[in-house]
Amino acid sequence: MRKLLSAISAAVLFTTLTLAQDPQPVKFSESVPQKPNLCPTPPMGWSSWNLFACDINETLIREIADAMAEKGLLDAGYTYVNMDDCWHGERDADGFIQADPVRFAGGIKALADYVHSKGLKLGIYSDAGSATCGGKPGSLGHEYQDALQYARWGVDYLKYDWCNTENVNSKGAYSLMAKALRASGRDIVFSLCEWGDTRAYSWAQEVGHLWRTTGDVNCCFDCELDFGGWKSLGVLQILDKNEPLRRFAGPNHWNDPDMMEVGNGMSVNEDRAHFSMWCMMAAPLILGNDIRNMSRETMDIILNKEMIAVDQDALGIQGLRYRVESGLEYWLKPLQNGDWAFCILNRTLTDRQINLDFSSFNMYDNLSGHAFKSASHTYRVRNLWSHKDEADSSKSRRVTIPAHDVVVYRLTY
């Protein structure tokens, strides 16, 4: 009953404010309206948090948008420029959130217009609690107002965090914001960020377009850092948490193992493996580095269109860890038209050489209904990092997988 009264109160407040300030009132329903078809493939873009944290302003966001357009990222599929925490100012006398008047003096609407002029989309951040993780105003009690404000500004993506949510029910809170977004009159991608704590992957398919499955990523390949009340995880630790959840992912509802750390300080091998495994898991590809200043090696990784095609495959199936042998993992991902992505991940600190015989990997994937028939089918083999065609799958080969690195093939029948 309290939830119903809360929803009714929010609706009355929203309708009253809308009638007073907008000539076209926004309608809503008590059930979560149908989710818009905005993410048939995992979203791609950039987010400010991993590198800049709270040190953001409108100049940075404009420069990032410029770099995405000028350096080929937009052409490669990276669409969203996402401001994370700390863009906020205070709420006005009517309760509407405002941007920080110093860092975003021009306002979010002007910033969104600029980002849109580059062919990109703008993302924003809020929190289901009373305050964000950075201590800025949260959306608790202001869900409909905030959604309307984002729509008026021209926002295209909302990351919704889970700090300061004592006594808040996650499914109710995220469903309420989903209703508000869909009532706003604008299509906005909804990214749930409750770190997998409340198993959003098991209930949020009709609520959001993507949901975090793990704690925060850290810029290391194999580590776990304990900060007392929470832990940040390395690439391999996040991989292990996300891998068992493949049945929950698909078009318009993606498992999100967090933003990427490519270009932020790991080795080139580790960056390449990190990017490859996110592609194999059909994860959102949200960059977290300073794309204004990148090495050639970083650009080669994030602009690898053959790997991006694996992530963005229209079939929308998350890859599976098929075999583990002495620190090597063999991953398979079914792709459209009967193709397969085949990845070998070396988790060890030693280069490994193997004799690869594709015929030993026959399998049927119950989730996709696709079969990998290397014993009876001969596949064309394309190396996705050397960008070279190799001998077909009927021939075994000697393969070296460097430490903390991958070899990835696309097999086409």
User: What would the pLDDT profile of 299-323 be if each residue is shown by its tens digit?
Assistant: 999 999 999 999 999 999 999 999 9
- Find residue 89's DSSP bridge partners: none
> Three-class SS of residue 177?
helix
Pairing of strands 88-91, 97-99: antiparallel
Query: ∠292-126-149 over CA atoms, to 5°?
Result: 95
Is 216 marked active-site? yes
* Structural element, H or E, at residue 211: strand 210-212
Q: 170 CB contacts (<8 Å, ≥6 apart)? A: 128, 162, 194, 197, 198, 200
Q: DSSP string covering 348-393, please?
A: SSS-EEEEE-GGGG-EEETTTTEEE-TTT-PPEEEETTTTEEES-T
Identity of the residue numbered 320: L
According to the model, what pLDDT value does residue 231 have?
A: 85
Residue positions counted in the chain: 413
In angstroms, the CA 292 to CA 399 distance is: 35
In angstroms, the CA 88 to CA 99 distance is: 5
In angstroms, the CA 339 to CA 292 distance is: 35
According to the model, what pLDDT value does residue 15 have?
A: 35
In angstroms, the CA 234 to CA 240 distance is: 10
In angstroms, the CA 71 to CA 82 distance is: 18
Q: Which stretches of the chain drop beneath a pLDDT of 50?
A: 1-30
* Structural element, H or E, at residue 121: strand 121-127
- Find residue 121's DSSP bridge partners: 80
* Structural element, H or E, at residue 297: helix 296-302
Is 226 marked active-site? no
Cβ(97)–Cβ(149) below 8 Å: yes
According to the model, what pLDDT value does residue 31 have?
A: 63
In angstroms, the CA 202 to CA 247 distance is: 10
According to the model, what pLDDT value does residue 8 have?
A: 33
Cβ(35)–Cβ(252) below 8 Å: yes
Annotated active-site residue in 85, 146, 216, 339 = 216
Annotated active-site residue in 84, 161, 256, 258 = 161
Q: Which of 308, 307, 309, 220 is CA-nearest to residue 271?
A: 220
Identity of the residue numbered 234: G
In angstroms, the CA 283 to CA 267 distance is: 21
Phi and psi at residue 127, to the nearest 5°: -140, 145
- Lookup: tokens for 136: 């800025």
Task: Give residue for tokens 């959604």.
Answer: 147
Pairing of strands 44-47, 97-99: unpaired
Query: What letter would DSSP give residue 131?
Result: B
In angstroms, the CA 218 to CA 49 distance is: 11
Phi and psi at residue 109, to the nearest 5°: -60, -45
> Three-class SS of residue 26?
coil
Cβ(326)–Cβ(371) below 8 Å: no
* Structural element, H or E, at residue 325: strand 320-325
In angstroms, the CA 250 to CA 205 distance is: 9
